[in-house]
Structure 1
Amino acid sequence: MTTIKQIVGGALVDSLEKPSKLLAARRTAPPEFAGMWEFPGGKVESGESAQDGLHRELAEELGVVVTLGAEVAGPTPEGWPLNAGAAMRVWLAEVTDGTPEPLEDHDMLAWVELGGPEILALDWIPADLPIVEALVVFTAR
């Protein structure tokens, strides 16, 4: 049986109560994804819960502390398939301390309107695009 590598991502929004903007992060590596946009986050470490891993990753990558909101549920128990060996769980998150900065793995951050055309016009990493589309619908409720 193959173990799926668990990845976590933060859909940082301007407000958990009434989200209208999403923070997108532009990757610097690997070369095939450099310049593309994604949800900040990363790999869950051994012994860590998915939520604890997300808090750690957002602190390392963006220098922020967040409150987590609802999970944007994916099509599998592991979340959203990224490739044959990895899947990502994504939570809405609101910054409670710090100002997001591209400290690690990213060279640019951008707040985009959840309901506007700009969000889908960004060059998203292909595996993240279905999550973005689901997030737009999820937050429009």
Structure 2
Amino acid sequence: MPEAIHIRPDAARPIDVAVGILMRPDGDVLLGQRPAGKPYAGYWEFPGGKVEPGEDIFVALQREFVEELGIEVLSGEPWCCVEHVYEHAHVRLYFYICRAWRGEPQSLEGQAFAWQGAFGVSPLLPATIPLLEWLDRVRYAQPS
């Protein structure tokens, strides 16, 4: 008789999240600090949010940036996809490098944000840390 299969909670289907790396021409990128009341409050991350059922990932990214930062992302280059299991959620993060947007970022959800070149803010959200080395490879590359 085959053994019973037990599905761990973290084995459930991951939550899709659209993440944008706003990149200035000088290579600096925007990081936001998670506000109080959210898991990992006080940690720094790239802005973004959950993809709604049936929603295109880039459209979700554009919506989240309007809601969180009051800016309109005009274009984005799909960069990578990473899965990470946190204590509170299993997420699949779709990262886009965005070099064109309209408006200046504003703190619409009470979060702090900072343009970073050397990533001097801390602590960083765990899923963000491994991406920093990869990001250094593309930060100063010219857009195609």
TM-score normalized with structure 2 length: 0.77
Give the number of the structure whose alpha-carbon radius of gyration is greater: 2
Amino acid at match of 1:88: L
Matched, 1:42 2:49: yes
Amino acid at match of 1:68: S
Which residue among 83, 99, 108 is the counterpart of 2:112? 108
- The Cα of 1:53 is off from its aligned counterpart by 0.4
SS in 2 for 1:119: coil
Which ranges in structure 1 are unaligned for 5 or more consecutive residues? 74-78
Which ranges in structure 2 are unaligned for 5 or more consecutive residues? 1-10
What is the number of equivalent residue pairs in this alignment? 128
- The Cα of 1:133 is off from its aligned counterpart by 2.5
Q: How many angstroms apart in 1 are the aligned matches of 2:19 and 2:106?
A: 16
Indicate if the aligned counterparts of 1:58 and 1:65 stay in contact, CA closer than 8 A: yes
Indicate if the aligned counterparts of 2:76 and 2:100 stay in contact, CA closer than 8 A: no
Q: Which residue of 2 aligns with 1:136?
A: 136
* Shift in alpha-carbon separation, 1:131–1:30, aligned structure 2, 3 A: farther
* Shift in alpha-carbon separation, 1:34–1:2, aligned structure 2, 3 A: closer
What does 1:40-119 correspond to in 2, within 5 Å? 40-73=47-80, 79-83=81-85, 85-104=90-109, 106-113=110-117, 118-119=118-119
> Aligned Cα RMSD in Å?
2.1
Q: How many angstroms apart in 2 are the aligned matches of 1:100 and 1:46?
A: 27
Matched, 1:4 2:14: yes
Indicate if the aligned counterparts of 1:8 and 1:53 stay in contact, CA closer than 8 A: yes
TM-score normalized with structure 1 length: 0.79
Indicate if the aligned counterparts of 1:68 and 1:91 stay in contact, CA closer than 8 A: no
Q: Name the stretch that deviates more: 30-39 or 4-13.
A: 30-39
